[in-house]
Amino acid sequence: MKKSAYFINTSRGPIADEEALIDTLKENRIAGAGIDVFVEEPPLKDNPLFKLDNVVITPHSAGNTKDAMVKMAMVVEDIIRVLEGKKPMYPANSPKNADKKAANE
């Protein structure tokens, strides 16, 4: 990475070598990092990333929106319905849903 680069990880902590990232940031081999996930979740309070000035850390909660919560509840509702032997109300692969999607495009 270029010295002016910023490393951003919002997916999964283990995809990055956290120790190597810490060394890289301490030695200013990149400009900084934005971290939303850690190798160990929740991160330890003494994680060295918390002490670095060139790191921005956010809580891993971007998916906690009202819309996301409503959609997760719909999924749970359908799981319960299927377990009770009923048809799901919100199937992702429903031909009816495919027609609506096509009409909106």
Residues with catalytic function:
12, 41, 60
CB distance 6 to 33 below 8 Å: yes
Question: At residue 62, what are phi and psi to the nearest 5 degrees?
Answer: -60, -25
Between strands 32-35 and 6-9, the pairing is: parallel
Residue for token digits 């929740």? 42
Structure letter (DSSP) for residue 25: H
